[in-house]
Chain A
Amino acid sequence: MEVARFWRTTGQRYRLTGEVCPNCGKPIFPPRDVCPVCTKEARTPFTFSGKGEVYSYSTIHVPPQGFERFAPYTVALVRLAEGPLVTAQLTDVDEAEVYIGMPVEMVTRVLREDGERGMLVYGYKFRPARPVRDDAPKSAAEPAHVSETVPDAPAEVGPSAAQVAMASATA
């Protein structure tokens, strides 16, 4: 179990905290302590917005060990809004929907687990971005299914249906 290895990078992986170069101002992710542009030391923390777009993508059909249960899954190079490219999985998306230039946003998800007994490793992935809306759709006054399917009085469809309804009251 590689506990310390994951623990020391939680800030990067959970919330995309990288660095910004105090010398030239370039935002850096993943953090690398030496600015790739001006090669000066860069250790000032900087948290990225998580917004970006797909630079390239690939769907993995033959996964490495530890990722079998996710296959097939899509990975991407994402160009962050602040500039850097980052390598990550896409999630909440169907392969056919993905295109180069697709706007995406960062989410924190399970990256892998060390079997049933080991620790869970969380980290950044990206999913299709929610469009920015001035006036997003509000909660519908009439939720789609309620008005159609809810009888006026609780109707017992049959003994087993009643059992279902009662039991699911729980929790």
Chain B
Amino acid sequence: MTLMRPVKPVGITGYGAYVPRYRLPGQAISDLWTGGNVAPPVNEKAVPGLDEDVATMSIEAARNAIARASYADPGFSPADLGAVWVGSESHPYAVKPTSTIVAEAIGATPYTQAADWQFACKAGTEAIQAAIGFVGSGMAAYALAIGMDAAQGRPGDALEYTAGAGGAAFVIGPAEHALVEIEGSVSYVTDTPDFWRRQYEKFPEHAGRFTGEPAYFHHITSSVTALLQAMNLSARDFAYAVFHQPNVKFPLKVGEELGFTREQLRPGLLVNEIGNTYAGSSVIGLTAILDIAQPGDRILLASFGSGAGSDAFCLRVKKTAPAKHVWTTREYVQRRTPIDYAQYARMKGNYKLN
């Protein structure tokens, strides 16, 4: 069975984004390492402040998601969360869960499931899929799934241009309270080593051009095609689509191959402004779409995780949440403080102080 659907209908009852305020222009990286000879693949990327990491960013996104969930379902309380799951490849600890920190901060402890997920850039969507199963089976009334990263790129490496920071959190709950119903999803996975980071290494390695066709394009195309087929839908049935966005080109290209127009993709395409937020990349794009989508709109979400796999989701908007007390994704994107490379190096801890 390719299409995954829970026994009970589930949906997104709350969503929230987070992007740190600092921005490093791609040009600054190009100037430093190539004398300006390389055109940066994105305009700028978001950089976490000195006191931020995946735990703190997840907490803020989770608080935003909870605020919206409380609107969608006034009876909802963080104590109702049966799971707090954080997907990331930059957890602050190698051993010790990020999820317990988040669960404690939002008031979900102690009777809750907590775990960290890891599958490169698709750790967030796999947490969502697991949450669908958790809620859809009746094991939990609500579950929190987060995709968040403070991505690392080796100084001077191609990844340094795009390795950004940010992500999104989702409260998954019963469809009757949801802002968005999750109609179905597909996960497509093979062992394709296009990108990795070995134990104890600080920076990831990648397989150059191999990361394109056999990895990114093949997996996303496969998951989305299978999803559309199983749901008997085509690109035209969707108001919006959002793909994993490691740069500007790839999501536009894969969207085009799958029959989506620029207009369907544009609202969810944030990479040029905040960089590739890895496990947060496709899901934060989804939050930007949800901020503007109208009831009835259908949305396609497809992540990509190196290693490799892609999770594709078919979503349908049921109602919208007012933005009175919650940060919108666009507000986070527009809250920007430019920094230079020296400040960036400091924030990334690249200077040894003691």
**Chains A and B directly touch (beta carbon < 8 Å):** yes
Contacts of B56 in A (CB 8 A): 107-110, 122
Would you call A154 an interface residue if the criterion is a C-beta within 8 Å of the partner chain's C-beta atoms?
A: yes
Tell me which of A18-26, A30-38, A74-82, A126-134 binds B: A126-134
Using an 8 Å CB-CB cutoff, how does the interface string of B293-319 with A read, 1 for contact, 0 for none? 000000000000110000000000000
Select from chain B the residue with minimum beta-carbon distance to A11.
B104
Query: Is A143's CB under 8 angstroms from B246's CB?
Result: no
Picked from B204, B248, B272, B334, the residue with its CB within 8 Å of the CB of A171 is: B204
Given contacts A69-B353, A168-B41, A171-B151, contact A108 B59 (CB under 8 A): yes
Report the interface size class on chain B: 35 or more
Query: For window 69-120 of chain B, which residues contact chain A by CB distance below 8 Å?
Result: 89, 92-93, 101, 104-107, 120
For A169, give its contact among B247, B288, B354 (CB under 8 Å): B247
Whether the Cβ atoms of A169 and B324 lie closer than 8 Å is no
In the complex, are the beta carbons of B105 and A171 less than 8 A apart? no
The listed residue with most A CB atoms (<10 A of its CB), out of B41, B51, B249, B306, is B51
| Contact of A4 with B by CB under 8 A | no
Question: Is B206 part of the binding interface, using a Cβ–Cβ cutoff of 8 Å?
Answer: yes
A138/B324 in contact, CB under 8 A: no
Report if A164-B328 is in contact (Cβ < 8 Å); known contacts: A120-B53, A149-B43, A169-B212. Answer: no
**Cα–Cα, bound, A132→B211 (Å):** 43
Q: Which residues of A contact B306 (CB under 8 A)?
A: 170-171
Q: Kindly supply a per-residue 1/0 record for chain B positions 324-351, scoring 1 wherever the CB is within 8 Å of any chain A CB and 0 otherwise.
A: 1101111101100100000000000100
Q: How far is the CB of B19 from chain A (nearest CB, A)?
A: 11
Does A2 sit within 8 A of B, measured CB to CB?
Answer: no
Q: Are B323 and A146 in contact (CB under 8 A)?
A: no
Contact of A170 among B49, B246, B272, B323 (CB under 8 A): B246
B135-143, B158-166, B174-182, B222-230: which lies at the A interface? B158-166
B328 touches A139 (CB 8 A): yes
With contact pairs A134-B324, A166-B212 given, residues A171 and B161 touching in the complex (Cβ less than 8 Å): no
CB pair A139–B292 under 8 Å, yes or no, is yes
Chain A interface size range: 35 or more
Complex contact A160–B37 (CB within 8 A): yes
Residue of A nearest to B37 (CB): A160
Cβ contacts under 8 Å, A163 to chain B:
158, 208-209
Is A64 in the interface zone, CB < 8 Å from B?
no
> Is the Cβ of A70 less than 8 Å from the Cβ of B50?
yes
Chain A positions 155 through 171: 1 when the CB is less than 8 Å from some CB of chain B, otherwise 0: 00110111111111111
Establish whether residues A136 and B331, one from each chain, have CB atoms under 8 Å apart when the complex forms. yes
B 164-189 to A, binary, CB cutoff 8 A, 1 in contact else 0:
00000000000000000000000000
Q: How far is the CA of A34 from the CA of B248 in the complex (A)?
A: 58
| Distance of B56 from chain A, by nearest CB (Å) | 5
Q: Assess whether A130 is in contact with B330, with CB atoms less than 8 Å apart.
A: no
Q: Which residues of A contact B246 (CB under 8 A)?
A: 168-171
Q: How far is the CA of A166 from the CA of B208 in the complex (A)?
A: 6
The complex places the Cα of A47 from the Cα of B337 at a distance, in Å, of 32
**How far apart are A139's CB and chain B's nearest CB, in angstroms?**
4
A1 near B: Cβ within 8 Å?
no
A57 to B247, CA, bound (A): 41
A169 touching B211 in the complex, CB below 8 Å, given contacts A137-B331, A143-B266: yes
List, in ascending order, chain B residues with CB within 8 A of A108's CB.
Answer: 56, 59-60, 105
Are A110 and B247 in contact, with the CB atoms below 8 A? no
B39, B92, B120, B327 — most chain A CB neighbours (10 Å): B39
Distance of A120 Cα from B158 Cα, bound (Å):
30
Q: A94–B60 Cα gap in the complex (Å)?
A: 20
| Residue pair B89, A168 in contact (C-beta under 8 Å) | no
A68 within 8 A of B: yes
Known A136-B324, A136-B331, A169-B212; contact A122-B38, beta-carbon cutoff 8 A: no
Q: Could you name 28 residue pairs across A and B whose Cβ atoms are closer than 8 Å?
A: A14-B104, A15-B104, A15-B106, A68-B354, A109-B51, A111-B51, A120-B92, A120-B93, A135-B322, A136-B330, A138-B292, A138-B328, A139-B267, A140-B267, A141-B267, A141-B292, A149-B272, A154-B252, A158-B38, A164-B38, A164-B158, A167-B206, A168-B41, A168-B162, A170-B246, A171-B151, A171-B204, A171-B278
Q: Contact residues of B with A, CB < 8 Å?
A: 21, 34, 37-41, 43, 49-53, 55-56, 59-60, 89, 92-93, 101, 104-107, 120-121, 151, 157-159, 161-162, 194-195, 204, 206-209, 211-212, 215-216, 246-250, 252-253, 266-267, 269-270, 272-273, 276, 278, 281, 288-289, 291-292, 305-306, 322-325, 327-331, 333-334, 337, 349, 353-354
Which A residues are within 8 Å of any B CB, using their own CB? 10-11, 14-15, 47, 68-70, 89, 91-92, 94, 107-111, 120, 122, 125, 130, 132-147, 149-150, 154, 157-158, 160-171
